[in-house]
Amino acid sequence: MNRTKKLLMGVTASALLTGATGEINQAARAMLTVTQTQPDPQVMDAANVIRDLLYKVSEQDALTVNELLAKRPQLKRRNVEKAITWLLDQGDIRKTGDGTQYKPYRYYDRFRGGHGG
Amino acid sequence: MEHSTSIRDLTSYRSKREYFFEHFGVRWPGTLLDPYDLLEIYPLSTTEISAILRAALAISRIYERIATLLRTVSDDTLLQMGLPARTLALAHLQISGMCDCVIGRLDLARTADGYKLLEFNADTPGMVIESFPINATVCELAGVINPNSEGERALTHALERSISAGLAYVRKKPGQLGKVVFTAHATCERDQDITNYLMGLPELPSSIQKQFVPLEELRADEDGLYDSEGIRIDVLYRFHPLQFFSAKIFKPHHNKPRAMSNGTLLFDLISQRRLAIVNPPAAFLLGNKAMQSVVWGLFERREYFNRNERDLIEQYFLPTYMDPIFNGSYVVKPVYGDEGDSITIRDGNKRVLLRSNNSTYMNQPMVYQKYVELPRVQLMTEDGIETLQILTSCFLINGEPNGICLRAGHGITNFSWWFLPVCIDE
């Protein structure tokens, strides 16, 4: 119950202490600057290649990192892994599997489902 | 095929689906991919429709109340709820005159105790095409009454009002030239169908230009957001979740130095009143599933909500927490998931009963919600009669319930479920 309790304490404490405000917290702005660094150009290049490779690839045909690398051996594994993380953050691709040897992560295009909830 | 269906029935069913697809499918090429995406029209009694609308209205009122409270919470609390750091500041923003959620959709389960909220798709709700133009066309063709007939008018009014509020927010005076852009990913035809449909609805003053621009074509600098020809955009309707707006989503404008390399660009443009977006940023907070644990937690502690509101919460919300504390079955879902991605259903001993194939959002904070069984109904499909589970949804347009949508399928709801057009049972 710890996370639930902590969240509720935060909600009620803020309501009591701060009152409604539309002002933007400066700490949040600072955090944005730190966390949103743009990937380096090599990673961006890898992301573009992967996006093309996965274009219209369905869940049934989803590809592992190894399969992506086999199709584009010139890419470095490290860049591919970073690019995949970035593409997931952008909402460009989806992931299946649990990362185990038997069900490795596989990646595919989200074109069919779209971006709506 | 669970029951023997006569070949004649099946042939007739398929012919009807094929006829519809052949004559109307082309209108929504990204939405109807094959003739069998739709099932046979499903009649709903007026009592049932009233129950859905009543539930949606009550839930909407509770969300309005909790949104007021959540606007006051600290960033630390928002981070606990799983808001990405880059969206924190946006979560506090409100655009005057614009509803916190202009177009949203509630997903509901019909249980023995009435309708219960599963989740609120407040940021970028799908199923718009199916629920409004497709449902209207199906009903018209069948000569039955469409329960969503007022939806298009409500959408139009909501968009006109939100665009007007957006223009005022960026300090446009009446009669001044302005630009409203509707955007979605160029590669996502389904998203484009929704965006283009919505773009066609509002009638804007002649001084205001509206246009579809693919997300990939948008340009930006510190002064504004621009279309591919460099014309400044005042209001952006985006069918793209706020969580995915980040660094490098926009092209640079005139090779100016980009402030967006650190990802704050969208936030800066909105907070400096250089851009307004629809749905507004507040919708992103409303769509967070941890909101439901806050509602339920405050209900249990008898805090914040009055007696009447607590009755509504008890009636329409499900016990939801940030911890797995259930004795019976429960659902584990990410705070910002979609399309049934990264969802697990577990029994009271935490054994997995069902798990979605996708694991895109497994790194997000999870909420734990009491599991309720969706009702099962026998329906004809292209493979014969099947027993399918039914998920009920209701749109909230400017906070008011308008537009019922049913989906049918097996297991965890995702895009592969059939859409079930609805009519009023006379």
Which range, of A101-110, B181-190, B252-261, B365-374, averages the lowest pLDDT? B252-261
What are the percentages of helix, strand and coil residues in chain A, rounded to 5? 55, 10, 40
Mark yes or no for CB contact B241/A19 under 8 Å.
no
Q: What is the rounded average pLDDT of the residues B192-218?
A: 96
What is the pLDDT, as a whole number, of residue A20?
37
Is the pLDDT at B117 greater than 90? The verdict is yes
Q: What is the ipTM of this complex?
A: 0.86
Give the tens place of pLDDT for each residue, B12-52: 999 999 999 999 999 999 999 999 999 999 999 999 999 99
Residue B424 confidence (pLDDT) above 50: yes
Instruction: Please report the pLDDT score of residue B262 as a whole number.
Output: 55
The stretch B61-90 carries a mean pLDDT of 90
The tokens of B159 are what? 């968009």
Chain A residues in contact with B33 by the CB 8 A cut-off are: 112
> In the predicted model, is pLDDT for residue A51 greater than 80?
yes
Q: Which of B86, B241, B247 sits opposite A115 (nearest CB)?
A: B241
pLDDT of residue A22: 33
Q: Report in angstroms the alpha-carbon separations of B119 from A15, B116, B236, B381.
A: 24, 9, 25, 27
Taking only Cα atoms into account, the Rg of chain B, rounded to an integer number of angstroms, comes to: 22
What pLDDT is recorded for position A112? Answer: 66
Average pLDDT over residues B87-101: 87
Paired strand residues for B355: B344
pLDDT category of residue B252 using cuts at 50, 70 and 90: confident
Backbone phi and psi for residue B4, each to the nearest 5 degrees, phi listed first: -70, 120
**Does the CB of A37 have a partner CB in chain B at under 8 Å?**
yes
Residue A115: what pLDDT? 72
Interface test mutation site (partner B, options A36, A87, A108, max chain B beta carbons within 10 A): A36
pTM: 0.90
The confidence score (pLDDT) of residue B286 equals 95
Query: Which of A23-27, B163-167, B315-319 comes out lowest in average pLDDT?
Result: A23-27
pLDDT(A30) > 50? no
Has residue B302 got a pLDDT over 70?
A: yes
Where residue B271 falls among pLDDT bands split at 50, 70, 90? confident
- Cβ separation of B304 and A110 shorter than 8 Å? no
Q: Is the pLDDT of residue B242 over 70?
A: yes
Q: Answer whether residue B240 shows pLDDT above 80.
A: yes
Ordered strands of the B276-278 beta sheet: B208-212, B178-183, B235-238, B276-278
Residue in this structure with the two tokens 């940021």, named with its chain if needed: B123
pLDDT of residue B383: 94
Residues B75, A28: contact at Cβ < 8 Å? yes
Report the DSSP pairing between strands B235-238 and B276-278: parallel
For A55-74, the pLDDT digits (tens) are 889 888 999 999 999 999 99
Q: What residues are paired with B344 via a beta bridge?
A: B332, B355
Residue % of chain B over a pLDDT of 70: 96
A103: distance to nearest CA of chain B, Å? Answer: 10
Q: How confident is the model at residue B322 (pLDDT cuts 50, 70, 90)?
A: very high
**Cα-based distances in Å from B426 to B26, B46, B201:** 31, 8, 30
Among chain A residues, CA nearest to B92: A22
pLDDT at B57: 97
- Mean pLDDT for chain A? 80
How confident is residue B254, by pLDDT bands cut at 50, 70 and 90? confident
Tell me which residue of B217, B231, B219, B229 sits closest to B187, measured CA to CA.
B217
* CA separation for the pair A87, A43 (Å, rounded): 10
Residue B396: the pLDDT is 98
Is A36–B338 a contact, with Cβ atoms under 8 angstroms apart?
A: no
